[in-house]
Every structure is written in structure tokens, then in C-alpha cells.
């Protein structure tokens, strides 16, 4: 089983961390997925495409069909935008389960759908904060957890790692290096154990948390994640207010 790390060349906050990651030892060229090149390091496959990060649906299924390798999880590298323009490093699951079938998704995905959240979300949020502190990115950068709010469509456990929130920060090499180091250490590419490995033998003795509610950001959920020492399969169902949040009884939806 393999992990897909996905970047797009049209986003500096995506290709920056990808380039920093590829500069680390052990990578070699892998097979193409249609016109998308890949790079291989152990059980990790890094893909670099030229489209919007939320536009390439079913990359897990397409990779499996092309290579016969089973995809265990997907990690997307992306920019983050915010009205506040505050510098940020974010982690979040994906999906738009709050949209009706006839709604038009504003940022990819499929109405009513959410990808299985990566079990690494909680452990990696804690690791990201540690890395950001050691690289003196805090307090300039905020390390934060977001809720589900966009695509692309996947069927494998998925999370986004993002740098925000303006072009100045999307291009920051120190932020790119922090995200690359998060992936490197989190996936155990440096030879140490992977962080948040759901397949570890002790995983059946750890708790799973599912957070529901909140807005685009989920500060209460994040507080729990940062303080909780068990596994975090954190499908935080928080949505942008501008995406028409509907409140009512289950039969109203």
C-alpha cells in the first residue's frame, strides 16, 4: 500500500513544499499517471500536476488502475486563503457534505460527499506546531485546524496541508520547509517511525474522535486535538458561512 502526496505546479504554496521534500534523500522518478509525473521514496509517491489542486478527482482510483498499487492515503499540499490575510499553517479533512445534490460546489468535490479523514490529522497537527516553533515561525504564523469545505473527490483517507494566507507567505521558503519536514517526519521517510500510523499494532487501544460543528475554523476541536494523546480521525464538519449553512432537524435536509 502506498501514500500519495499531491502537489500542483501552479500554486507556490504547493510546489514549494514539494520541491523542498524532493530535495531530501531517497527520491527517484516513478511512473507517469497520464501526463502527471511521479517520484518514489519507499512507499510514498509524490505527484506533480498542472491543474487546480481541487480539480483532479479520483487520483487514488486512477493511480491504482494505472499501477496496481493500492492507495492507503492521500496528502495534498496547497495554499490557504483568509479574509484576515494572517499567515497560517493549516491541516484539515476535505468534503462538502453540507451541500444539496443540486448545489454547485464552489471549490471542487461532490455535494453530500466527504472523504474519509486521515487518521494522521491530530498527530500531525501537534507535530506541525512543534516544527513551526522550532523553526521560529510562531507567533508570526498561526498553526490551525480547519473544517471540511472543498474537494477534490477521493475515496481514500485524505488531508490537506496548507500555507496561508497571501502570495507573500505562499512563497515563503521557511514555511515550505516546515511543511516538507512535516511530511518527511510524519511518513517516517527519515528512518524513524511514522507519526499517526493507523496500521500500528497499538492503534486498536486508542480512541477515535469525531468532531461535528463549528465554522470554517474549529478552535474548540483544535484545542481538544492538541491536548488529546489518542488517535485523531478528526472529520471536523465545519463550513464557511458563505456556503449556506443550514440548521434544522435531520428530516429537513
Q: Does the residue 24 lie in any domain? A: yes
Per-residue cell: 172: 515563503
Same domain, 178 and 242: no
Q: Does the residue 210 lie in any domain? A: no
The predicted pLDDT at position 234 comes to 38
The predicted pLDDT at position 237 comes to 34
Same domain, 94 and 193: yes
Q: Does the residue 209 lie in any domain? A: no
> Could you list the residue range(s) of the whole structural domain that residue 105 is in?
2-203
Q: In angstroms, rounded to a whole number, what is the distance separating the alpha carbons of residues 140 and 158?
A: 27
Q: In angstroms, rounded to a whole number, what is the distance separating the alpha carbons of residues 61 and 146?
A: 26
Same domain, 175 and 235: no
Q: Tell me 242's DSSP state.
A: G
Q: Does the residue 212 lie in any domain? A: no
Nearest to 147 by CA among 117, 175, 123: 117
Please report which confidence band the pLDDT of residue 182 belongs to, taking 50, 70 and 90 as the band edges. Answer: very high
Same domain, 151 and 241: no
Between residues 231 and 221, the one the model is more confident about: 221
Q: CATH number of the domain that 8 lies in?
A: 3.40.630.50
- Sheet architecture: strand order including 142-145: 28-29, 38-41, 44-49, 2-8, 71-81, 158-165, 88-92, 142-145
2 sits in which H/E element: strand 2-8
- Say how many domains are in the chain: 2
Q: In angstroms, rounded to a whole number, what is the distance separating the alpha carbons of residues 141 and 13?
A: 14
Q: Which range has the top average pLDDT, 161-165, 218-222, 244-248?
A: 161-165
pTM, 2 dp: 0.85
The predicted pLDDT at position 224 comes to 75
Amino acid at each position: 500500500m502506498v501514500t500519495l502526496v499531491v502537489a500542483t505546479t501552479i500554486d507556490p504554496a504547493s510546489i514549494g513544499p514539494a520541491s523542498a521534500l524532493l530535495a531530501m534523500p531517497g527520491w527517484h522518478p516513478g511512473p507517469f499517471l497520464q501526463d502527471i509525473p511521479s517520484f518514489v521514496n519507499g512507499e510514498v509517491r509524490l505527484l506533480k500536476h498542472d491543474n487546480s489542486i481541487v480539480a483532479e478527482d479520483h487520483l487514488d482510483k486512477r493511480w491504482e488502475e494505472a499501477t496496481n498499487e493500492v492507495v492507503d492515503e492521500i496528502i495534498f499540499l496547497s495554499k490557504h486563503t483568509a479574509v484576515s490575510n494572517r499567515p497560517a499553517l493549516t491541516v484539515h479533512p476535505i468534503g462538502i457534505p453540507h451541500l444539496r445534490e443540486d448545489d454547485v460546489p464552489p471549490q471542487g468535490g461532490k455535494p453530500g460527499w466527504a472523504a474519509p479523514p486521515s487518521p494522521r490529522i491530530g498527530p500531525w497537527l501537534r507535530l506541525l506546531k512543534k516544527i513551526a516553533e522550532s523553526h521560529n515561525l510562531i507567533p508570526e504564523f498561526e498553526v490551525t485546524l480547519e473544517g471540511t469545505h472543498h474537494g477534490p473527490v477521493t475515496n481514500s483517507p485524505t488531508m490537506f496541508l496548507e500555507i496561508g494566507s497571501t502570495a507573500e507567505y505562499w512563497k515563503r521558503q521557511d514555511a515550505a520547509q516546515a511543511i516538507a519536514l512535516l511530511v518527511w517526519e510524519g511518513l517516517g521517510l527519515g528512518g524513524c517511525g511514522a507519526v499517526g500510523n493507523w496500521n500500528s499494532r497499538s492503534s486498536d487501544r486508542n480512541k477515535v474522535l469525531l468532531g461535528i460543528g463549528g465554522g470554517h475554523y474549529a478552535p474548540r476541536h483544535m484545542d481538544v486535538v492538541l491536548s488529546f494523546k489518542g488517535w485523531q480521525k478528526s472529520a471536523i464538519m465545519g463550513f464557511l458561512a458563505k456556503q449556506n449553512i443550514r440548521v434544522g432537524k435531520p428530516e429537513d435536509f
